[in-house]
Structure 1
Amino acid sequence: MEEFFSDLLHLKTPGIEAAGMLVILVGVVLAAADIIDTVAIEPSLESVALLAGIIVIRTFLSVSLEVEIEGHWPWRRGKERKAEPS
Structure 2
Amino acid sequence: MKAYGRVYYLLSKYLHWDTEPPGDIYRAITSTLKALLKDKSLTFQKSRWYGDDLCPAAWDYVFSLDLLCAQLGWIWTVSHVIRY
* TM, length-normalised to structure 1: 0.28
The higher-RCO structure (CA 8 Å, 6+ apart) is: 2
- Please say which structure displays the higher CA radius of gyration: 1
| Structure with a larger share of its residues in helix | 1
Answer 1 or 2: which has greater strand percent.
2
